[in-house]
């Protein structure tokens, strides 16, 4: 049964069912790490991915994966990495999760290397590590560390392909080019699978499962200028919100300092790690003024704000004085072309300059969602009980950029996302394996439950007239860019919230003109818009609610960090559109918690 | 792009291959006039997206829009390449741009080809590290800088399919001749100092078709958007096979 233009409504009775032990929605780094774990345990697992797995956005990661594997520095210590990460998060990263990630990280890195990941090497034949922003030795006292493991500047590609290959070897079941639409819940608030369709045939299914993992990646496409792939539309986040589950810290969006001007494509922080630096129109290395110690390797939020300040104060470069330059030419072609071959390629293509000869025009670009679906260290999705305590959602997991286990808090350090993917992708897999061993029973959904999960797909499929979804998307991106950028004020945000709310209204009435069944990419884009709207609205409302400046969230009307009121996670629900607070975890297991200090670099 | 003055715009003659398996019509070329700004050198993918705004039913794959995910291998004015990193200045001839699906693979719809054969050949070469050693999560397998350098030019493949679908030997025997992409992948593991299955890999490649159908025509090299050289990798495998036979 394929979807077609005849306006037939899909319902539970006619919908075919495919059943698996575990379903992983997402074939990026986090999804394929989870699936690998499950495939090895012999569970019947399927990876659902709207693109062929190696086309996932993880492939774009350039600079590397940060982890204290003691290769560049035999004395390196995971606790130093933990300290940097807590400080980088501006103290709203959960310290139990950060501890788990930094401590378990090396095992996951060595496992990947043993699986074949072609890391660059040191003269001693060990994994090469480079310097990245916000990295220190000895709890900030020992100067810049080199902790980011790299495969040239193509680490994400190397990692994703290695994971795909390992999954091929392990015999993982791929539902490649399938689009997941909505979660299916039973009457006990448990998740029992997803509605998805095969894009090629247009055939919809109920994919039934006792463990559903949302590993759907980022949502940078809510902004106009972003480093994110076109497919990064926050689908899993939208699905969770529509199912009534909360999201956490959605106001925290990282703007990466070095997006190529006019295109948004990224050049890695590794450029600065290798010795590159930023200059303004006077050729001044301005970061020396803003961050005297770490200069160009200060944390990303700090560098992005400094760049905008330079531009706003009239020291930007180019005819419109709207960008700055990233200088690499002093490093010489040897370093630039060998260590940064991918950057060289991108820069030539999109900025028309060879970075070994001329500086690259750059401007901050929306890059990464620190917020997402809240989980514990096992990837289990968390909601709240009426009294504000955590409630675990049976059957639902999240991992990777879509999740918020909160290792990044208010600001992510470079190279920590890839580590997050593999550590928590794996831990979710391990937990599912354990759960199956001890036995789980989830109630079957009623046909009403399934019909409910089909409502959006049905609405889009039968639409006869209404809004053009391409226009709604463009307006949304413009609104977010204007009102929720690097510097925020109440006035702009209140206005932005209104606009987003209007666009939500419109999105409830979009028209899919092309109703054909086979490889209908218009249908996919229409459904993606519904997710973009959810994510954007969560961002907008949470951002206005957090009345302080912390990490990436910088308000001109509340310029200070407010630990008395906001040393907290924000929690947002789509049905009530209300924001509440959740305690930050300050209870690591093996070290003393790091207490908030003023954050300088 | 709303506020561009008319003199900064050029109208490009675009034509796109259309095919819908459920309709009775044969495949045809659909023509568009697309207004493009002159000061910016747009990529072919940008133009496709502009066309899709006019006719949302056009189907093509895309993801990263920066040449790393391998989604949008296309036949652009007769030459295979990635839409997202092929600038109009390279592709357009006499103001005309004609875009077709990659040749030699079954077309699913419009510009979307069925990559199954291509992926199956990839899987055949056991594209993963095989070692005698058990996976050790406490340390890396040592590899020198020189050993690692041997993987440069091999591991970067993004599986876009531009090469294999430009290869006459792959067109004629897509089920038997592995094709340049899969063979490049095979050599990527043969060349890896950490892999201990070279013998097993060569044995599998020994038959008349797997490798030896490559006649060194180099189409694959000239289209690879990542600047990789499958012909050279195939040459290395051939050399090893010949040596082994002696
Ligand atoms: C340019 C760039 C460079 C970066 N460099 C680094 C770096 O050097 N170091 C670092 O640590 N981090 C880096 N990051 C961040 C990091 O790459 C990402 O955060 C990370 O890869 C996200 O991985 P993921 O597994 O969560 O999701 P993704 O890799 O984005 O995968 C998402 C998956 O979900 C699937 N999916 C989504 N929606 C649906 C749906 N509705 N139905 C079915 N499937 C769906 C997709 O098909 C895809 O397979 C970089 C990011 C960018 C943009
Ligand atoms: S060199 Fe070999 S693999 Fe490459 S196109 Fe020619 S025949 Fe095909
Ligand atoms: S070798 Fe080049 S052309 Fe062939 S699949 Fe790989 S990247 Fe594409
Ligand atoms: S869209 Fe990823 S390679 Fe072109």
Domain boundary among B59, B86, B113: B113
Token pair for residue A539?
A: 């961002």
Asked if residues B101 and B110 have their Cβ atoms less than 8 Å apart, the reply is yes
Average pLDDT value for residue range A553-571: 96
For the annotated catalytic residues of A, the residue numbers are 300
What pLDDT does B8 receive? 73
Regarding beta strands A403-404 and A568-573, do their DSSP bridges make them parallel or antiparallel, or are they unpaired?
Answer: unpaired
Residues above pLDDT 90, as percent of chain A: 89
Asked whether residue B189 falls in the same domain as residue B159, the answer is: yes
Asked whether residue B56 falls in the same domain as residue B176, the answer is: no
Token pair for residue A409?
A: 């808090």
CATH number, residue B76: 3.10.20.30
pLDDT in tens, A425-484: 999 999 999 999 999 899 999 999 999 999 999 999 999 999 999 999 999 999 999 899
* Separation CA A225–CA A253 (nearest Å): 13
Name every residue whose Cβ is closer than 8 Å to that of residue B156 and which is 6 or more positions away in sequence.
A154, A157, B226, B228
Comparing CA positions, the residue from A447, A25, A14, A4 lying closest to residue A205 is A14
Asked if residues B208 and B155 have their Cβ atoms less than 8 Å apart, the reply is no
Asked if residues A239 and A26 have their Cβ atoms less than 8 Å apart, the reply is no
Q: Into how many domains does chain B fold?
A: 2
3-state class of A195 per DSSP? strand
Residue listed under structure tokens 């075919």: A16
* Separation CA A442–CA A211 (nearest Å): 10
Asked whether residue B146 falls in the same domain as residue B81, the answer is: no
Asked whether residue B96 falls in the same domain as residue B148, the answer is: no
Token pair for residue B39?
A: 């000061």
Asked whether residue B205 falls in the same domain as residue B123, the answer is: yes
Instruction: State which residues form the domain around B71.
Output: 6-113
Contact B57 A516 (CB under 8 A): yes
Nearest 10 degrees: Cα torsion A88, A93, A96, A98: -40
What pLDDT does A366 receive? 95
User: Is residue B1 in some structural domain?
Assistant: no
Q: Which residues from B are below 8 Å from A151, CB to CB?
A: 155
Comparing CA positions, the residue from A211, A235, A240, A238 lying closest to residue A23 is A211
Asked whether residue B127 falls in the same domain as residue B238, the answer is: yes
pLDDT in tens, A364-375: 999 999 999 999
CATH number, residue B128: 1.10.1060.10
Comparing CA positions, the residue from A328, A263, A256, A295 lying closest to residue A61 is A256
Nearest 10 degrees: Cα torsion A495, A496, A501, A504: 150
Asked whether residue B102 falls in the same domain as residue B121, the answer is: no
Contact B64 A51 (CB under 8 A): no
Mean pLDDT, rounded, of chain B: 93
Give how far B104 is from chain A: nearest CA, Å: 19
Cα-based distances in Å from A25 to A220, A252, B136:
18, 24, 29
User: Is residue B38 in some structural domain?
Assistant: yes
Q: For A261-303, list the strands marked E by DSSP.
A: 277-279
Average pLDDT value for residue range A67-85: 97
Asked whether residue B40 falls in the same domain as residue B92, the answer is: yes
Asked whether residue B210 falls in the same domain as residue B139, the answer is: yes
Asked if residues A346 and B85 have their Cβ atoms less than 8 Å apart, the reply is no
What pLDDT does A5 receive? 65
Token pair for residue B99?
A: 């875009």
Rounded to the nearest 5 degrees, what angle is found at the Cα of A23, between the Cα atoms of A4 and A397? Answer: 120
* Separation CA A276–CA A267 (nearest Å): 11
Residue nearest (by alpha carbon) to ligand 1 atom 6: A61
Asked whether residue B91 falls in the same domain as residue B153, the answer is: no
* Separation CA A209–CA A25 (nearest Å): 12
User: Is residue B218 in some structural domain?
Assistant: yes
The packing angle between helices A155-170 and A29-40, to 10°, is 30
pLDDT in tens, B58-101: 999 999 999 999 999 999 999 999 999 999 999 999 999 999 99
The radius of gyration computed from the CA coordinates of chain A, to the nearest angstrom, equals 23
pLDDT in tens, B158-191: 999 999 999 999 999 988 999 999 999 999 999 9
Q: Which of B80, B174, B220 to mutate to test the pocket of ligand 2 (most atoms within 8 A of CB)?
A: B220
Exposed/middle/buried for B135, CB within 10 Å: 0-12, 13-18, 19+?
Answer: middle
Name every residue whose Cβ is closer than 8 Å to that of residue A493 and which is 6 or more positions away in sequence.
A483, A484, A540, A543, A544
Average pLDDT value for residue range B94-115: 96
Cα-based distances in Å from A346 to B53, B65, B188:
26, 11, 24
**Mutation to test the B interface, candidates A173, A349, A528, most B Cβ within 10 Å:** A349
Query: C-alpha A403: how far from its chain's center?
Result: 8
pLDDT in tens, A383-401: 999 998 999 999 999 999 9
In this structure, of A81-85, A174-178, A303-307, the range with the lowest mean pLDDT score is A303-307
Give yes or no for residue B157 CB within 6 A of ligand 3. yes
Asked whether residue B95 falls in the same domain as residue B150, the answer is: no
Name every residue whose Cβ is closer than 8 Å to that of residue A492 and which is 6 or more positions away in sequence.
A482, A483, A484
What pLDDT does A433 receive? 97
Q: Which residues from A are below 8 Å from B57, CB to CB?
A: 513-514, 516, 520, 522
Token pair for residue A41?
A: 């345990």
What pLDDT does B41 receive? 82
Q: Would you say the pTM of this structure is higher than 0.90?
A: yes
Read off the pLDDT band of A262 (50, 70, 90).
confident
Token pair for residue B98?
A: 């004609």
Asked if residues A77 and A69 have their Cβ atoms less than 8 Å apart, the reply is no
Q: Which of A229, A345, A513 lies nearest to residue B63, judging by beta carbons? A: A229
Ligand closest to CA B218: 2
Read off the pLDDT band of B3 (50, 70, 90).
very low
pLDDT in tens, A305-329: 999 899 989 999 998 888 999 999 9
Q: Which residues pair with A555 in a beta bridge?
A: A488
Name every residue whose Cβ is closer than 8 Å to that of residue A311 and which is 6 or more positions away in sequence.
A321, A322, A323, A324, A363
Residue listed under structure tokens 């207004």: B35
Asked if residues A26 and A49 have their Cβ atoms less than 8 Å apart, the reply is yes
Asked whether residue B142 falls in the same domain as residue B199, the answer is: yes
Query: C-alpha A507: how far from its chain's center?
Result: 24
User: Is residue B186 in some structural domain?
Assistant: yes
User: Is residue B132 in some structural domain?
Assistant: yes
Regarding beta strands A277-279 and A380-384, do their DSSP bridges make them parallel or antiparallel, or are they unpaired?
Answer: unpaired
Q: Which of A56, A59, A102 to mutate to test the pocket of ligand 1 (most atoms within 8 A of CB)?
A: A56
In sign, the C-alpha dihedral spanning A382, A384, A390, A393 is: negative
Asked if residues A234 and A532 have their Cβ atoms less than 8 Å apart, the reply is yes
Q: What are phi and psi of A538, to 5 degrees?
A: -60, -45
pLDDT at B1 over 50: no
User: Is residue B187 in some structural domain?
Assistant: yes
Read off the pLDDT band of A7 (50, 70, 90).
low
What pLDDT does A470 receive? 93
Query: C-alpha B53: how far from its chain's center?
Result: 26
Domain boundary among B66, B97, B113: B113
User: Is residue B102 in some structural domain?
Assistant: yes
Domain boundary among B83, B113, B143: B113
- DSSP string computed for A538-585: HHHHHHHH--S-BTTB-BSSS-S--HHHHSEEEEEETTTTEEEEEEPP
Residue listed under structure tokens 């299916």: A184
């Amino acid at each position: 049964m394929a979807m077609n233009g005849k306006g037939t409504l899909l319902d539970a009775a006619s919908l075919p069912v495919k059943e698996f032990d575990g379903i992983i929605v997402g074939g990026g780094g986090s999804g394929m790490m989870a699936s690998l774990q499950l495939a090895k345990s012999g569970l019947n697992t399927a990876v659902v991915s709207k693109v062929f797995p190696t086309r996932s956005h993880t492939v774009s990661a350039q600079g590397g994966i940060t982890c204290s594997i003691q290769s560049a520095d035999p004395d390196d210590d995971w606790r130093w990495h933990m300290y940097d990460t807590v400080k980088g998060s501006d103290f709203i990263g959960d310290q139990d999760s950060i501890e788990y990630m930094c401590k378990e990280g090396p095992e996951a890195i060595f496992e990947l290397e043993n699986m074949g990941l072609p890391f660059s090497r040191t003269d001693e034949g060990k994994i090469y590590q480079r310097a990245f922003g916000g990295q220190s030795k000895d709890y900030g006292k020992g100067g810049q560390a080199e902790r980011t493991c790299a495969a040239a500047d193509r680490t994400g590609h190397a990692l994703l392909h290695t994971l795909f290959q390992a999954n091929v070897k392990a015999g993982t079941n791929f539902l490649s080019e399938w689009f997941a639409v909505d979660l299916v819940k039973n009457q006990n608030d448990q998740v029992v699978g997803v509605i998805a369709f095969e894009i090629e045939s247009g055939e919809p299914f109920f994919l039934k499962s006792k463990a559903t993992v949302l590993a759907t990646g980022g949502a940078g496409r809510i902004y106009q200028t972003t480093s994110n792939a076109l497919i990064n539309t926050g689908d899993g986040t939208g699905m969770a919100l529509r199912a009534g589950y909360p999201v956490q810290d959605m106001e925290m969006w990282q703007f990466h300092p070095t997006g190529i001007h006019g295109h948004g494509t990224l050049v890695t922080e590794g450029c600065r790690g290798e010795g590159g630096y930023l200059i303004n129109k006077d050729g001044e290395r301005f970061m020396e003024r803003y961050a005297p110690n770490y200069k160009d390797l200060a944390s990303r939020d700090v560098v992005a704000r400094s760049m905008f300040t330079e531009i706003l104060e009239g020291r930007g470069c180019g005819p419109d004085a709207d960008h700055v330059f990233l200088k690499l030419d002093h490093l010489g072609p040897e370093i630039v072309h060998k260590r940064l071959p991918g950057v060289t390629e991108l820069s030539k293509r999109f900025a028309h300059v060879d970075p070994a000869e001329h500086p690259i025009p750059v401007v901050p670009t929306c890059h990464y969602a620190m917020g997402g679906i809240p989980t514990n260290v096992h990837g289990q999705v968390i909601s709240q009980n009426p009294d504000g305590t955590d409630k675990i959602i049976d059957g639902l997991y999240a991992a990777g950029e879509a999740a918020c286990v909160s290792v990044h808090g208010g600001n992510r350090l470079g190279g920590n996302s890839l580590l997050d993917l593999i550590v928590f992708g794996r831990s979710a897999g391990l937990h599912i394996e354990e759960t199956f061993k001890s036995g789980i029973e989830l109630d079957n959904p009623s046909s009403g439950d399934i019909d409910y999960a089909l409502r959006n797909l049905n609405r889009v499929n039968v639409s006869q007239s209404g809004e053009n979804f391409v226009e709604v998307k463009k307006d949304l991106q413009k609104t977010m860019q204007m009102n929720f950028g690097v510097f925020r004020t109440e006035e702009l945000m209140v206005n932005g919230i209104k606009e987003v709310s209007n666009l939500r209204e419109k999105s409830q009435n979009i028209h899919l003109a092309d109703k054909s069944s086979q490889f209908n990419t218009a249908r996919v884009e229409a459904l993606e818009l519904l997710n973009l709207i959810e994510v954007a609205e969560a961002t907008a409302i949470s951002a206005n609610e957090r009345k302080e400046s912390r990490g990436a969230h910088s308000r001109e009307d509340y310029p200070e960090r407010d630990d008395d009121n906001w040393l907290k996670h924000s929690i947002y629900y789509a049905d009530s559109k209300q924001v509440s607070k959740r305690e930050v975890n300050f209870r690591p297991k093996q070290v003393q918690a790091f207490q908030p200090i003023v954050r300088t670099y | 792009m709303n506020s561009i003055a008319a003199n900064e715009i050029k109208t490009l003659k675009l034509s796109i291959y259309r095919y819908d398996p459920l309709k009775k019509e044969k495949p045809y070329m659909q023509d568009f006039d697309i207004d493009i700004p002159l000061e910016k050198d747009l990529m072919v993918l940008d133009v496709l997206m502009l066309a899709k705004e006019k006719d949302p039913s056009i189907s093509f794959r895309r993801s990263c829009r920066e040449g790393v995910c391998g989604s949008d291998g296309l036949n652009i004015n007769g030459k295979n390449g990635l839409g997202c990193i092929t600038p109009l200045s390279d592709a357009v001839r006499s103001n005309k741009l004609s875009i077709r699906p990659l040749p030699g693979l079954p077309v699913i719809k419009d510009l979307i080809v069925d990559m199954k054969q291509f992926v199956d050949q990839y899987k055949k070469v056991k594209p993963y590290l095989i070692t005698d050693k058990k996976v050790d999560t406490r340390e890396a397998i040592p590899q020198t800088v020189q050993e690692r350098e041997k993987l440069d030019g091999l591991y970067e493949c993004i599986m876009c399919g531009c090469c294999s679908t430009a290869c006459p030997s792959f067109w004629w025997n897509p089920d038997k001749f592995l094709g340049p992409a899969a063979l490049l992948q095979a050599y990527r593991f043969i060349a890896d100092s950490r892999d201990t299955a070279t013998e097993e890999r060569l044995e599998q490649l020994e038959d008349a078709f797997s490798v030896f159908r490559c006649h060194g025509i180099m189409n694959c090299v000239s289209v690879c958007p990542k600047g990789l050289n499958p012909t050279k990798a195939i040459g290395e495998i051939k050399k090893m096979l010949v040596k082994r036979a002696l």
